Amino acid sequence: MKHLFILMLLLSLFSCNNSDNKADGYGNFEATEITISAEANGKLEFLNLEEGDIIEPNTLVGLVDTIQLHLNKQQLIASKATVYSKSENVLSQINVLQAQLKTTLIEQKRIQNMFAENAATKRQVDEIEGKVDVIKEQIKGVQTQNAPIINEIASIDVQIKKINDQIKNSKIINPIKATVLAKYAEPNEIASFGKPLYKIANLSKMTLRVYISETQLPQIKLNQIVTVKIDNGTGMKSYPGTISWISSVAEFTPKIIQTKEERVNLVYAVKVDVKNDGSLKIGMPAEMWLK
């Protein structure tokens, strides 16, 4: 009976010691949330996602109507073809003049050789040189006519590139692998630039934001491994965590005169990265244990 009493006393003392143990920090889980917005105006043709879906990166999840953009593009392509035909006509004139210039230059060389042998007159030399100069000026004039046509084609090309970019922005591409947290739009609704469509977050790694006192600050450092605990029915479930950020500024402004007791009121924010096994949720409370 005496041994039983001593055993019960030891168990009672052990239980009391455990009840005195407290976590080193308390906080809630959070994740970086990204709101995906429309980059084009028009009717939302489809938005293939629902809350809770896990979407892979670079996945096409929606589309804003692009019919008007495609029609405008086809109109510009037709205009470019018309303008280009004008340029081809000018270029054909240049080709004819260049062929004439080539023949005239051969004739000029022949007359110059004859003049050197006193078989041609100076007047013939001057006439052929004048003819060469006239053809060269004609070529320059036609090239001048072609310059604005080339500029017009370049302008149309820029407009086509602009429409191609608008068509690209009409496609709603999911940027990262993440879980859909909220859906703000439905198919057949009118989307406008900047309108939120859905919100995502990468939940594979959660961040626990906890607050510690000023007296605990010397005990922690970046990349330190800690234990994170959450409620699990009647007990606690533990996860390994890594300290990824420590605030350099206290969350609460201290009084001018700080006693030893008042210094405990200085609170610093700390972020702990925890790998999620599916049980951790945004906003869930948790504890951080250093030991």
CATH code of the domain in which 230 resides: 2.40.30.170
Contact by Cβ (8 Å): 270, 212:
yes
Domain co-membership, 152 together with 214: no
Domain co-membership, 91 together with 52: no
pLDDT at position 277 is 93
| Residue range 28-71, pLDDT digits in tens | 999 999 999 999 999 999 999 999 999 999 999 999 999 999 99
**CATH classification of the domain holding 184:** 2.40.50.100
Q: Do the domain assignments include residue 4?
A: no
What whole-number distance in Å separates Cα of residue 243 and Cα of residue 225? Answer: 7
Q: Do the domain assignments include residue 8?
A: no
Contact by Cβ (8 Å): 207, 106:
no
The neighbour count for residue 15, using CB atoms within 10 Å, is 9
Rg (CA), the chain: 40
pLDDT at position 74 is 96
Share of the chain above pLDDT 70, in %: 88
Domain co-membership, 86 together with 146: yes
Higher pLDDT, 266 or 125: 125
Domain co-membership, 154 together with 224: no
Q: Do the domain assignments include residue 18?
A: no
User: Whats the size of the chain, residue-wise?
Assistant: 291
Residue 183's domain comprises 36-63+171-198
Kindly tell me the burial class for residue 271, based on how many C-beta atoms sit within 10 Å of its own C-beta (0-12, 13-18, 19 or more).
middle
Number of domain units in the chain? 3
Element (H, E) at 126: helix 122-170
Domain co-membership, 209 together with 279: yes
Domain co-membership, 130 together with 193: no
Domain co-membership, 146 together with 74: yes
Residue burial 249-264, b: 16+ Cβ < 10 Å; e: rest: ebeeeeeeeeeeeeee
| Residue range 132-186, pLDDT digits in tens | 888 888 888 777 777 888 889 899 999 999 999 999 999 999 999 999 999 999 9
Higher pLDDT, 116 or 76: 76
Q: Is the pLDDT of residue 239 over 60?
A: yes
Mean pLDDT of the region 90-94: 78
What whole-number distance in Å separates Cα of residue 211 and Cα of residue 206? Answer: 16
Both tokens of residue 279? 């049980």
Which pTM value belongs to this model? Answer: 0.70
18 falls in which pLDDT band (50, 70, 90)? very low
Domain co-membership, 179 together with 58: yes
Domain co-membership, 166 together with 189: no
Q: Do the domain assignments include residue 6?
A: no
Q: Is the pLDDT of residue 115 over 60?
A: yes
Higher pLDDT, 211 or 4: 211
The domain boundary residue, chosen from 170, 186, 216: 170
Domain co-membership, 91 together with 214: no
Domain co-membership, 76 together with 150: yes
Q: Do the domain assignments include residue 10?
A: no
Q: Tokens 């922690």 correspond to what residue?
A: 220
What whole-number distance in Å separates Cα of residue 110 and Cα of residue 207? Answer: 89
Share of the chain above pLDDT 90, in %: 53
Domain co-membership, 284 together with 256: yes
Q: Is the pLDDT of residue 258 over 70?
A: no
